[in-house]
Amino acid sequence: MEDDERELAKWNRRIEENRKIRASGLLDEANLLVYSMQKLSHKTTGLNLLDRYYIWSLVKKGYEINERDDTVRSYGIPPMVHAATRGWLMLTHLFVSNSGDVNYTSSIQESPISAACRRQHMTVIRYLAQRGANLNICDKSGFSCLRWACKHQDTSMLKLLLRYGASVTMDCGTTQLSALDWAREYDNITMVSLLEEQLVKEKKVTLTKLEAKHNEELALKKAKKKSKKLATEAAVINDHQLETTVTVRQRRARERIEQQQRQRIENHEQHTKAAFEARAKEVLTKISPVEHEVFSLPVEKEWYKVKSMHWQERSKQVKVDPEFETLSRLKRVMELSHSAMDEFATEPTPTHPPKALSVNFYFPKHSS
């Protein structure tokens, strides 16, 4: 009894939720066509007449065909992909006839014709290929129409896809296993030969297009070069005719005007240069040198005896700190002007050698 009561309570909750949804109008905003196709895709049996009529009525009511259901299993599958997956040709024709996009993919990039190739529904594949479906779309799992055909070892499907323009070159230009790789893995010589023949044809077509494009570019370059040459020749002829018609006096007057204009430009440049130099000299003369305070050391005086009864004042011999003396010398050097520094650096050496010391320096004469 507890299980029955629990089941009854669950159904009562669902009834209350349905009443709230209908009262708020959320059911009208939902795409019933997408939900209905999702529900019908799980049927084990085929579609009956009632199911077909119900889908037809939803389409006629204006529900969007090119829309995904992102809330169901997070696949986001549109109605046409559901119909192609189950091989329902009638619903596929109904959707296409009512502005359905044959290349509208699901959230995993699976198109209707790719889903039909996955389930090997030949009638749906032929129908969609005749309506211009893209046969080269590759879904997120890495499979295209050609790869599904080679994986299922379905030669008739492969021939049908190649006949309607499936590109082997585009299929081989991805990182996943191509259709040619699948055919070689299963050692299917027939499929390998079909794919290689189609690949050679596509390469020849591509080469022909490239050659035609190259020839067209060459022809265009030649035409441009020829037109440029003709224009140059025409300009030369026109200049020659103009020169023959102009008199010598007019030509001289034109040359004189051009010479005057050149002279005017040169005079203007010289005047500008002279004004700039004068302004620079004026600015340099106005710049006054920085005056520094004279740094003097305090000097103490003392009296010392020169001879008997004779005294003389002199500066007291003070022991100066070596660091203080070095700083004072640097101060005096920094106070020198640039001209004095240059003269000091370029002071010529004496041309005559110094006078030799006399003998009296070594043997002084003593007073008797």
Rounded to 5 degrees, what are φ and ψ at 30?
-75, 155
Dist. CA 41–CA 87, nearest whole Å: 10
Mean pLDDT of 110-133: 93
Residue type for 110, please? E
Please say if the pLDDT value at position 348 is more than 80.
no
- For 291, which DSSP code? P
pLDDT score for 115: 93
pLDDT in tens, 136-165: 888 888 888 999 999 999 999 999 999 998
pLDDT in tens, 277-310: 888 888 777 765 555 565 555 667 777 777 877 8
Please say if the pLDDT value at position 75 is more than 70.
no
The residue that leads in pLDDT, 192 or 2, is 192
Dist. CA 290–CA 4, nearest whole Å: 108
Residue type for 345, please? A
pLDDT score for 359: 53
Judged by DSSP in three states, 97 sits in helix
Say if CB 116 and CB 87 are below 8 A apart.
yes
Say if CB 199 and CB 180 are below 8 A apart.
yes
Please say if the pLDDT value at position 88 is more than 70.
yes
367 pLDDT band, cuts 50/70/90, is very low
pLDDT score for 368: 43
Dist. CA 3–CA 11, nearest whole Å: 12
Please say if the pLDDT value at position 228 is more than 90.
no
pLDDT score for 45: 79
- The CA-based diameter of the chain, rounded to the nearest angstrom, is 162
pLDDT score for 118: 92
Say if CB 199 and CB 172 are below 8 A apart.
yes
pLDDT in tens, 186-214: 898 999 999 888 888 888 888 888 998 98
The residue that leads in pLDDT, 357 or 245, is 245
Please say if the pLDDT value at position 327 is more than 50.
yes
19 pLDDT band, cuts 50/70/90, is confident
Please say if the pLDDT value at position 346 is more than 50.
yes
The distance from CA 348 to its chain's CA centroid, rounded to whole angstroms, is 67
Please say if the pLDDT value at position 73 is more than 60.
no
pLDDT, mean over the chain: 80
Dist. CA 59–CA 351, nearest whole Å: 119
155 contacts: CB under 8 Å, gap ≥ 6: 188, 190, 191, 194
Please say if the pLDDT value at position 361 is more than 60.
no
Mean pLDDT of 124-132: 93
Rounded to a whole number of angstroms, the distance between the first and last alpha carbons of the chain is: 157
102 pLDDT band, cuts 50/70/90, is very high
